[in-house]
Amino acid sequence: MVALSLHSTIAIVGAGTMGAGIAQVAAQAGHSVLLMDQQLATASTALQRLRQGLDRQVARNRLSQTEATAILSRITPTDQLQSLAGCVLVIEAIIENIAAKQQVIEQLMDICGPDCIYASNTSSIPIAQIAAGLKYPGQVAGLHFFNPAQVMKLVEVISQTQTDSNLASKLKDTMQQWGKVAVFASDTPGFIVNRIARPFYAEALRMATENLAEYAVLDQIMRQGGGFRMGPFELMDLIGLDVNHAVTQLVTTGLSLPMFEISSLQQQFLDAGHLGKKTGRGFYDYADSSSPARSSVSVTPASVQVDMVISADLGWLQPLAQRLLDSGHRTVSVVEQGFLQLAGVSITPHLGAPLPSHAGPTIALDLAFDYGLCKSLACQRSDSCSKLQLKTVWDAFATMGIELVELPNQPGLPVTRTLAMLANVAADAVQRQVCTVSDADLAMRFGVNYPLGPLAWADQVGLEWLLTTLNNLALHVDQNRYTPCDWIRQLHQSGAGFYDHYPDH
């Protein structure tokens, strides 16, 4: 453990949204913290806001009054850069402007000297550009916290080419000591989270453009089938479409890879000034209330019984078959190969391709985060599957508390195509040494609350599923965008998963 001593003083420069939150995190760990802003009033108001937040924690019995008082007593607001002398770590969280950031760090280097660490919380400026031309470039790194910093566990630790070799480890250990989950990221656009998360929004925007379903339906499937805390449209409305778009632009233009693209649909909303919750209108209308009714289902279990033909091993559809059995459906025969049939309709996993016209009565199911628990599942049916047959299967699923949502028989159901692309983009990032396999997954779990890291999730479903799905999406939707990265092909050929053979995962 090489974490900074808890007896050392930490400085936070910029007492806005992020700086104030980071100050609380450091003080909560036990450090004395100097919270500096251009105006003393800004820093003092920030402390006031932190007090109110801590008071709420005390009222909810999450913190004792003594602890809250101690945390606040460790934070000193200031408007004097000179008072930061003696700090061992300065975290810069001022406005997103490279000249302003360089200027403040340059001044601080004269005040705090060559041994202090200068970390920037920038989301979009390359750390190497900030370090360029400064006196002690080896002492400059990135520490990317997520909003709200007091709540979100993740911190990305970014080294640039000149960063001293043991500095990143020191920062990582320090962040862990502060109760954070710290991951190493390369100094590339979007670092880890903002890069790997792009398909979560891009696939939703693309599906809406393809008229696959309404925003509320897609959000519901992603939440109740995919296990994500929020659907992509409600999340974009919350983040702000302009903010979300700026990150997409940063990653898309910065990386110039075909898997990233700017959505014309999002652009239309931006042009109309519909930026989300903050303007009263985004994908949803907030005119009457701050949050639109969330589309969510809990179907009333029906009392139907259908006959099932199943095989002994259904792979990842097994929990679903078990749930059907537990709901009282009757197995009429057991066959050899991976096969599930309900009332004469074959149930198959969707693999990114539409069901062919020659298929017998078939329903393809979207991927679920957990078939044993999900409440909503997107599906599509073959031409030969009648509405009545769909209704029978719908009723059978309703007995398990699952609502089947029929979407057109087009390539790519929501959770399937989103996970396939999240895993593709994550694998590509690992292949390009942006991060390790496990850091990619940790970043997505603790930076944006995904139920599971995309690479661990893809490993669970299998590389055969991933490669087939991406190849189908490339064939049927967009060759450039969905082409699997080389590493996925190589792993598939060797029969390995993401967590099997990659060094230092």
Ligand X SMILES: NC(=O)c1ccc[n+]([C@@H]2O[C@H](COP(=O)([O-])OP(=O)(O)OC[C@H]3O[C@@H](n4cnc5c(N)ncnc54)[C@H](O)[C@@H]3O)[C@@H](O)[C@H]2O)c1
Q: Which residues are catalytic?
A: 123, 144, 156, 194
Q: Which is nearer to ligand X, 411 or 447 (CB)?
A: 447
How far is it between the farthest Cα atoms of the chain? 80
Q: What's the min distance (Å) between Cβ of 252 and ligand X?
A: 18
Candidate residues 23, 35, 37, 205; the one interacting with ligand X per rule CB under 6 A: 37
Q: Which is nearer to ligand X, 243 or 477 (CB)?
A: 243
Q: Which is nearer to ligand X, 83 or 392 (CB)?
A: 83
Q: Which residues ranging from 43 to 82 are in contact with ligand X (CB under 6 A)?
A: none
Cα angle, residue 447 at apex, residues 159 and 178 outer, rounded to 5°: 70
- d(Cα 360, Cα 370) in Å, to the nearest integer? 27
**106 contributes a contact to ligand X by CB under 6 A:** no
Q: Which residue stretch of 11-19, 308-316, 351-359, 463-471 sits at the interface with ligand X (rule: CB under 6 A)?
A: 11-19
Q: Is 164 exposed, middle or buried (0-12, 13-18, 19+ CB in 10 A)?
A: middle
Site string for ligand X, 147-166 (x = CB under 6 A): x-------------------
Q: Which residue stretch of 9-17, 54-62, 201-209, 368-376 sits at the interface with ligand X (rule: CB under 6 A)?
A: 9-17
User: What would the two tokens of residue 161 be?
Assistant: 């080419």
Q: Which is nearer to ligand X, 96 or 285 (CB)?
A: 96
**16 contributes a contact to ligand X by CB under 6 A:** yes
Q: What's the min distance (Å) between Cβ of 426 and ligand X?
A: 20
- Cβ-closest position to ligand X: 16
Q: Which residue stretch of 33-41, 318-326, 392-400, 466-474 sits at the interface with ligand X (rule: CB under 6 A)?
A: 33-41
For every residue of 96-131, DSSP letters joined together read S-HHHHHHHHHHHHHHH-TTSEEEE--SSS-HHHHH
**95 contributes a contact to ligand X by CB under 6 A:** yes
Q: What's the min distance (Å) between Cβ of 98 and ligand X?
A: 10
442 φ/ψ angles, rounded to the nearest 5 degrees: -60, -40
Number of residues that bind ligand X (CB under 6 A): 22
CA distances from 271 to 234, 242, 245, 359 (A): 19, 10, 12, 44
Q: Which is nearer to ligand X, 23 or 415 (CB)?
A: 23
Candidate residues 4, 94, 131, 374; the one interacting with ligand X per rule CB under 6 A: 94
Is the Cβ–Cβ distance between 249 and 192 less than 8 Å? no
User: What would the two tokens of residue 222 be?
Assistant: 């992603």
User: What would the two tokens of residue 367 be?
Assistant: 């991927």
User: What would the two tokens of residue 47 be?
Assistant: 């402390």
Q: Which is nearer to ligand X, 79 or 164 (CB)?
A: 79
Contacts of residue 122, defined as CB under 8 A and 6 or more positions apart, other chains included, come to: 92, 96, 101, 130, 142, 144
**96 contributes a contact to ligand X by CB under 6 A:** yes
Candidate residues 28, 42, 248, 472; the one interacting with ligand X per rule CB under 6 A: 42
Is the Cβ–Cβ distance between 218 and 201 less than 8 Å? no
Bridge partners (DSSP) listed for residue 142: 120, 158
Q: Which residue stretch of 88-96, 363-371, 415-423, 472-480 sits at the interface with ligand X (rule: CB under 6 A)?
A: 88-96
**38 contributes a contact to ligand X by CB under 6 A:** yes
Place of tokens 């593709």: 424
Q: Which is nearer to ligand X, 96 or 500 (CB)?
A: 96
DSSP letter assigned to residue 276: B
**14 contributes a contact to ligand X by CB under 6 A:** yes
Alpha carbons within 13 angstroms on the beta-carbon side of residue 352 total 25
Alpha carbons within 13 angstroms on the beta-carbon side of residue 163 total 29
User: What would the two tokens of residue 62 be?
Assistant: 């999450």
- d(Cα 195, Cα 146) in Å, to the nearest integer? 14
**18 contributes a contact to ligand X by CB under 6 A:** yes
Q: What's the min distance (Å) between Cβ of 92 and ligand X?
A: 8
Candidate residues 78, 102, 121, 346; the one interacting with ligand X per rule CB under 6 A: 121
Q: What's the min distance (Å) between Cβ of 332 and ligand X?
A: 56
**17 contributes a contact to ligand X by CB under 6 A:** yes
Q: Strands 340-342 and 307-311: what pairing?
A: antiparallel
Residues making contact with ligand X (CB under 6 A): 13-19, 36-38, 42, 93-96, 100, 104, 121-123, 145, 147
